[in-house]
Amino acid sequence: MGDPMASIGFIYSTIDGHTREICERLAELVKEGGHSATMLELTPDTDIDLEVFDQIVIGASVRYGKHRPEVTRFIKHNIAALEARKAAFFSVNAVARKAEKKTPETNPYVRKFFKGISWQPAVIGIFGGKIHYAKYGFLDRTMIRFIMWMTKGPTALDSNVDFTNWDEVASFGQAVSELANTRVSD
């Protein structure tokens, strides 16, 4: 009989679907490591029973400098369950396209997010987001384009740029699997 596998819940908040894509890749990676993975989208109305999971990974996108409010509410409501599971967190934001903005200490959105909650996950990942102007409505396209202009990012309306470093996603997935392995062996 093989090693016991952990049941990992990937709970994500996404606006344009890119955070879900990252979760899908992470779920593939932990399955390769012998664990099970369940993906659940976090919306304002989501009610998720965390007791069915051995480990939790929360993924959250940023729009206009903020993670969505339901992410903070969910974490605060489930703090005991998250702390009991050596949970992990990752943020997806376009500022993380810059190497100097990819750590919990240097990413302004992640720093601000964790100042507002008491939870400290065992593993934190920060990934560059994706700019795809064709997917945005007029207001989002205009605002994001202005932000990209100010921060020297892509502004061409036909831009479809994925800033995600997929090797970093794989490293995060490995860290999540290793965390699950320690959880199962406890």
Q: Is the pLDDT of residue 158 over 80?
A: yes
The residue-averaged pLDDT of 157-177 equals 94
Same domain, 72 and 156: no
Residues 6+ apart with CB under 8 A from 158: 133, 134
Same domain, 120 and 176: yes
Q: Is the pLDDT of residue 184 over 80?
A: no
Q: What tens digit of pLDDT does each residue of 58-89 get?
A: 999 999 889 999 999 999 999 999 999 889 99
Same domain, 102 and 138: no
Give me the number of domains the chain comprises: 2
| pLDDT for the residue numbered 1 | 32
Same domain, 103 and 37: yes
Q: How confident is the model at residue 178 (pLDDT cuts 50, 70, 90)?
A: confident
* From 90-94, 132-136, 179-183, the region with the lowest mean pLDDT: 179-183
Same domain, 154 and 66: no
Same domain, 24 and 87: yes
Classify residue 2: in a domain, yes or no: no
Q: Is the pLDDT of residue 54 over 70?
A: yes
Classify residue 180: in a domain, yes or no: yes
Q: Is the pLDDT of residue 154 over 60?
A: yes
Helices (H) and strands (E) in the chain, counts: 6, 8
**Residue 109 vs residues 2, 13, 115, 126, 180: alpha-carbon distances, Å:** 41, 15, 10, 10, 27
Entry pTM = 0.91
Q: How confident is the model at residue 2 (pLDDT cuts 50, 70, 90)?
A: very low
Amino acid code (one letter) for 145: R
Same domain, 124 and 147: no
Q: Is the pLDDT of residue 55 over 80?
A: yes
Phi, psi of 65 (to 5 degrees): 85, 5
